Amino acid sequence: MNAPQRDTMLLPTPFHSRVEAMCELNDWGNWMGYTTPNAYFDVELEYFAIRSTTGVFDLSPMNKYRITGPDAEAFLNRMVTRNVSKLGVNRVGYAVWCNDAGEVMDDGTIFRLGEQDFRLCSYQRADDWLHWCTLGFDVTISNESEDIAGLAVQGPTSCTVLKLLGCTDLDQLKPFGIAHFTFEGAPMMVSRTGFTGDLGYEVWVAPAQAEALWDQLFELGRDYLIKPIGSYALDIARIEAGFLQAHVDFVPSEEVVRNGRTRSPFELGLEWLVDFSKPLFNGRAALLAEKARGSRYRFAMLDIEGNKPAEHSFIMKGDKVVGTVTSAAWCPTVKSNLAYAQIEMPHGAVGDQLTAEIYYQRELHWTRLMAPCKVIDGPLFNPKRRRQTPAPPF
């Protein structure tokens, strides 16, 4: 045996054997060092599984941190901009956190599992910052990323399928609620959360249960047209639903090298996540100063004429460049051409009429298109079923 020693650059997730079996396109990507599918069989059809039936996305590579101890709530209140005290047990909250300069480091979700027990799911690895922030707090931080396997189960038939899996009365769970069940004799946690803007859930189990969970879900979900979905389909859904993506719509501040490339929560349209009634949190002083002084940029959601996605476009007011697009997609359900842009103040207020400079190529021929666009005050995709409790039948 003279084979050279082979390092495994990318790791398999706990669902990998099942994911691989279904990944007909063999189109793989790298997410946090794990082999994850970009697409399983057809991006378009995968996207529509989310909107019409059920799409299943393996989110095991997500960074997950357990934060426990008497000061857990106070610690998180110090770290993130929103008020964690208002988050009840078995509730989930979206949050961003900043450095002292009020620059967004990352976004994520906080699961309150008990009075003194939280789980933080973050886009970035956060070990260093979490430990840095513990100074003076009686908390324990543990990285449990590899200890928990997760599936996002999203779409109109998702509740029905999960109820068949044994999630009794799941339809009664409110958005951002958490419920606990048993699967194969082991704990299974289900939260009504997701990255699609649709009715949907995230299911969390120990890696040992992962394959059985996948198998049963797809067996029980067959009559409800359950389909696996890859990251490309999820990306269309998240843009249509109005969700930001770190590294795409903002650069995490710890990674920024060039001056001025960070963004504050205000500049990302996340003012609603900043609670100044908290006496102290990271970045508070800087954000207060920014609020008094005014921000440099405004996050704008653009409804663009025509059907050419405004990828990487400059946004103009008259002849002047006032911003750039960070995410853009033709949204297949609302049939509109949507983009997120960073617009220089004072431009970009809701209703502002701007122009997107769109370049697109057809058969090596480039065309420049100046497409009128309008700043809208929220995503056009916002179905009732996303908010309804009990979750409606499909």
CB 227 within 8 A of CB 162: no
User: In sequence order, what are the beta bridge partners of 182?
Assistant: 187
Binding other proteins (rule: CB under 8 A), the pick from 16, 18, 51, 238 is 51
Is residue 91 a contact partner of residue 177, using CB atoms and an 8 Å limit? yes
Compare residues 54 and 209 and give the one whose CB is closer to other proteins. Answer: 54
Strand positions, DSSP E, 192-335: 200-205, 226-228, 297-304, 314-317, 320-331
Burial group, residue 292, by CB count within 10 angstroms (0-12, 13-18, 19+): exposed
28 touches other proteins by CB under 8 A:
no
Q: Which residue among 44, 138, 146, 147 contacts other proteins (CB under 8 A)?
A: 44
Of 299, 309, 301, nearest in space to 358 by CA:
309
CB of 34 to other proteins, least distance (A): 24
By beta-carbon proximity to other proteins, the closer residue of 237 and 274 is: 237
Is 332 a binder of other proteins (CB under 8 A)?
Answer: yes
CA distance 239 to 227: 20
Stretch that binds other proteins, among 117-125, 138-146, 285-293, 332-340 (CB under 8 A): 332-340
The residue range among 49-57, 140-148, 190-198, 244-252 that interacts with other proteins, by the rule CB under 8 A, is: 49-57
Near other proteins by CB under 8 A: residue from 125, 166, 306, 316? 306
CA distances from 92 to 86, 114, 187, 312, 362 (A): 11, 12, 18, 33, 45
Minimum CB separation of residue 194 from other proteins in Å reads 18
Dmax over Cα atoms in the chain, in whole Å? 69
Which range, of 7-15, 89-97, 315-323, 333-341, touches other proteins by CB under 8 A? 333-341
What's the rounded Cα separation, in Å, for the pair 153 and 188?
14
Query: Which two three-digit tokens encode residue 344?
Result: 């220089």
**Should residue 52 be labelled a site residue for other proteins when binding is judged by CB under 8 A?**
yes
Measured from the CB of residue 157, what is the shortest distance to other proteins in angstroms?
A: 6
- Per-residue buried b or exposed e for 192-220, using 16+ beta carbons within 10 Å of the residue's own CB: bbbbbbbbbbbbbbbeebbeebbebbbeb
41 near other proteins (CB under 8 A): yes
Pick the stretch among 1-9, 43-51, 65-73, 209-217 that binds other proteins (CB under 8 A): 43-51
Q: Look at residues 311, 319, 307, 323 and name the one whose alpha carbon lies nearest to residue 375.
A: 323
Regarding 53 and contact with other proteins (CB under 8 A), the answer is yes
Q: What angle do CA 52, 58, 64 make, to 5 degrees?
A: 125
Closest distance between other proteins and the C-beta of residue 365, in Å? 9
Supply the minimum distance, in Å, between the C-beta of residue 89 and other proteins.
34
User: Rule CB under 8 A: is residue 232 a binding residue for other proteins?
Assistant: no
Least Cβ distance, residue 330 to other proteins (angstroms): 6
Structure-derived torsion over alpha carbons of residues 363, 365, 370, 373, reported in degrees to the nearest 10: 20
Residue 158 binds other proteins (CB under 8 A): no
Q: Note whether 156 binds other proteins by CB under 8 A.
A: yes
Interactions with other proteins, residue window 175-194 (CB under 8 A): none
Asked whether position 333 contacts other proteins by CB under 8 A, the answer is yes
Which spans in the chain are helix H?
16-22, 43-52, 72-79, 127-133, 158-164, 210-221, 231-241, 284-293
**Which segment (91-99, 142-150, 259-267, 330-338) binds other proteins by CB under 8 A?**
330-338
Residue 119 sits in the site that holds other proteins (CB under 8 A): no
Report the nearest approach of other proteins to the CB of residue 26 (Å).
Answer: 11
CA dihedral angle for residue 36, residue 313, residue 125, residue 95, rounded to 10 degrees: -110
Site string for other proteins, 354-393 (x = CB under 8 A): --------x----x------------xx------------
Q: Is the preceding peptide bond at 37 cis, omega within 30 degrees of 0?
A: no
Report the candidate in 225, 96, 227 with the shortest Cα–Cα distance to residue 151: 227
Residues lying near other proteins in the complex (CB under 8 A): 25, 41-42, 44-45, 48, 51-53, 156-157, 223-225, 306-307, 330, 332-336, 362, 367, 380-381, 394
